Amino acid sequence: MKAEIYKILILTTMLVAATGLMGCTDKSGGSAPVPDTDEEIDGPIDGGTDGSGSYNTDKATDLGNIVTAEIGFDNSSYEYPEKELENLIHGVYEIRIERTDTGADVNVKVTDGYSDAKRFNFEADEKVLDELQEIIKEHEVAKLDGYYKRNTALGEGFDLEIAYESGDKISAHAKGGYAVMPDKYWDEKWFLAYIDRVMRDYDYYLDYEENQLEDIGEADIPEQVIENPGWEYYCDAGRVAADDHVKLSLIGTEPNEIVDDDVWFSNIGEQMPDTNQREDGRYRYYFYGGEYYSGYMMDIEDLETSEFIATLNLQSMYYSDDYVDTDRYYVDENIKHAVSKDGILYICMAHNTYASSAMHNAYIMALDMNDDYRVIWKSEPLTCNANNFAVEGNSIICGYGFTNEPDYLYVLDRFTGERVETVKLKTGPEYFFVKDFETDSSVERRLYVRTYDTNYEFEVE
């Protein structure tokens, strides 16, 4: 597959009508608690695995000029009675519109049920953002701000991130099953009809009849097929580990509410990473091609030039050599995270079920970006299945865990992938962030780790 020219900053859940796919990561065996909220509760609240949802009914609806709008939804299983919608492509929609000095930058990606993607990028008049704000105002969409629900099922979902010149925002997300969706202030038809109108004004079309998905927007970038060096630890001969690595000192832990990811991210001043996309300030990485999740394909966009520089095919590592046949639907090892430093691209791939279903799983690997993306080292298995990892100095901070399995934080040497430190965790790690922390007399580095039910804070030296 060739890389397609596009820009997207929204990632939606890959939604498949299936049940009972994998082990739940609830290690307590009980129901997840409902987080406290000061907002007026006007919508559905579920104290079980669905998490919680609330509407911000006091939120103003007219928030001024939009700076960026990120909208994601899946209409794969819908049939629309409206004539103007009935022939539009059904699939996962990922939309980003950003105000520019000359108007608005519009980016749209649509992925159908067969992982064929259709991508568009064009300049439009700034009035497209004004029209979007009218829709938000008319339907009181701002009252969704802070709405968050998820469960472990696959199914419905949406993502909504709107930022305004005033500094205000609308942030709402849902993932997993019809029960998580709001019963007011949201209908993907509003946004589907809107983006269809915008695109038609600029001679782009979402109709099945107008375009074939696989033929749209492709750039002539050669695909790099990445060879798997094996299923055990691998490192190029002659590579030498660094002499020094980060040293971690535990400052403290606190329990979390399991479903309060948004609170934790807000507290540490970070945003939750999108499922199928990462960026590191130099490049943006797009993940796709999976049967259910992000997949084994990666497109790399240079943020300085807005050009795509590579398409990577990591299918050789998508299914391990030791998976249990009866568990095949659960053991696809999808790209979880990617970041580059000094010309080396670091990638994590992992499945999302028990290690006993496929022990050769959950690796970090290093690819030389100046040598056809050749794998120069690959970690031991069961090293990283968290949603991200952190590169700090000569070290990579990552972790592995799952239900009824040991849970660890690992520090790896950045040049060889060897484990240089192991820290036992209470439950499976989900996110790692290293940030500056200002004291009265100095600036320190702190590591923030979120696990399934516990938040950690470490001093980094």
Tokens of 195: 């983006």
Q: What is the residue whose two structure tokens read 């795509």?
A: 308
CA dist., res. 142 & res. 57, Å (int):
9
Count Cβ atoms below 10 Å from residue 139 Cβ, excluding itself.
Answer: 16
DSSP class of residue 263 equals H
Tokens 């009809």 correspond to 193
Please report, as a single letter, which amino acid is at residue 267. N
| pLDDT tens profile 184-238 | 899 999 999 999 999 999 988 887 655 444 433 344 577 899 999 999 999 999 9
Distance CA 163, CA 98 (A): 10
Position 74 scores a pLDDT of 84
DSSP-derived 3-state class of residue 137: helix
Distance of alpha carbon 353 from alpha carbon 104, whole angstroms:
42
Rounded Cα–Cα distance for residues 285 and 298 (Å)? 6
Least trusted range by pLDDT, from 302-306, 331-335, 415-419 = 302-306
0.75 surpassed by pTM: no
How far apart are the C-alpha atoms of 337 and 148, rounded to whole Å? 23
Amino acid letter, residue 276: N
* For residues 82-107, average pLDDT: 86
User: Would you state the torsion angle of the CA atoms of residues 262, 264, 270, 275, taken in this order, to the nearest 10 degrees?
Assistant: -50
pLDDT at 317 over 50: yes
Q: What band does 378 get if pLDDT is binned at 50, 70 and 90? A: very high
Can you give the pLDDT at residue 209? Answer: 54
3-state helix, strand, coil in the chain (%, to 5): 10, 35, 50
Q: How far apart are CA 56 and CA 43, in angstroms?
A: 10
Residues 175, 352: Cα–Cα separation, whole Å: 16
Domains and CATH numbers, the chain: 1-220 (no CATH), 223-460 (2.40.128.630)
Cα separation, 244 vs 237, in Å, equals 20
In the prediction, which pLDDT does 4 show? 35
Q: Is the pLDDT higher at 179 or at 266?
A: 266
Q: Are strands 223-225 and 307-313 parallel, antiparallel or unpaired?
A: parallel
Question: Per-residue pLDDT tens for 123-167?
Answer: 999 999 999 999 999 999 999 998 888 765 556 688 899 999 998
CA–CA separation, 360 vs 323, rounded Å?
8
Rounded to the nearest 5°, which phi and psi values hold at 104? -145, 140
The pLDDT of 269-279, averaged and rounded, is 88
pLDDT of residue 35: 34
287 with 300: CB under 8 angstroms? Answer: no
Rounded to whole angstroms, how far apart are CA atoms 408 and 425? 5
As given in the structure block, the two tokens for residue 237 are 């001969």
Distance between CA atoms of 290 and 335, rounded to whole angstroms?
9
| Distance, CA of 373 to CA of 422 (rounded, Å) | 29
Q: How far is CA 381 from the centre of its chain?
A: 22
Q: Quote the percentage of the chain above a pLDDT of 90.
A: 60
